[in-house]
């Protein structure tokens, strides 16, 4: 049990394994959710950046709400780090504006035609954004 806790709390696990598992899980779910006659793996199945970004925002907000609900009021408000709470709305705003920008980029430059995305603006840049947001949130939560 101690080795498992050590593995899960390792920075390499948090910043390498978790994002990679997230990518593989998202691509896998997109692939297996297709109807059987359309089930070949396409490059559009790798366009998961927006989904990862949204999941990271939900994770950040959920963690903050969990933290806020556990604040002890016995000796006044005891905040673990009040600076984090003051900066949090700006972090969420940054992520939302970035998500809006990335979705606009995908809409304007991310499509070759109505069925096919471009690699750079449709898949790679949104995925880099999504992974960056996920790593930022995991780093924020792990403190």
Instruction: From first to last of the 143 residues of the chain, give the pLDDT tens digit.
Output: 788 888 877 777 877 787 888 888 888 988 888 888 877 888 988 999 999 999 899 888 888 877 776 665 544 555 555 667 778 889 999 999 999 999 999 999 999 998 899 999 999 999 999 999 988 998 888 77
CA 41 and chain centroid, separation = 23
**What is the three-class DSSP state of 111?**
strand
CA 117 and chain centroid, separation = 21
Measured from the Cβ of residue 69, the count of other Cβ atoms closer than 10 Å reads 7
**Is the distance from CB of 7 to CB of 13 less than 8 angstroms?**
yes
**Is the distance from CB of 95 to CB of 53 less than 8 angstroms?**
yes
For residue 76, the enclosing domain spans: 2-142
> What pTM, to 2 d.p., does this model score?
0.79
How many independent structural domains does the chain possess?
1
The pLDDT tens digits for 119-142 are 999 999 999 999 999 889 988 887
- Supply the pLDDT for residue 74: 47
């Amino acid at each position: 049990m101690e080795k498992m806790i050590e593995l899960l709390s390792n920075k390499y696990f948090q910043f390498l394994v978790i994002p990679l598992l997230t990518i593989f899980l998202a691509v896998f779910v997109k692939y297996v959710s297709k109807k059987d006659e359309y089930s070949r793996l396409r490059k559009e199945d790798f366009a998961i950046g927006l989904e990862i970004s949204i999941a990271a925002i939900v994770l950040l907000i959920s963690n903050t709400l969990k933290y806020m609900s556990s604040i002890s009021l016995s000796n006044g408000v005891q905040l673990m780090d009040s600076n984090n709470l003051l900066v949090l709305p700006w972090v969420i705003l940054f992520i939302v504006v970035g998500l809006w920008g990335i979705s606009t980029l995908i809409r304007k430059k991310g499509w070759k035609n109505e069925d096919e995305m471009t690699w750079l603006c449709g898949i790679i840049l949104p995925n880099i954004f999504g992974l960056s947001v996920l790593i930022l949130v995991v780093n924020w939560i792990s403190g």
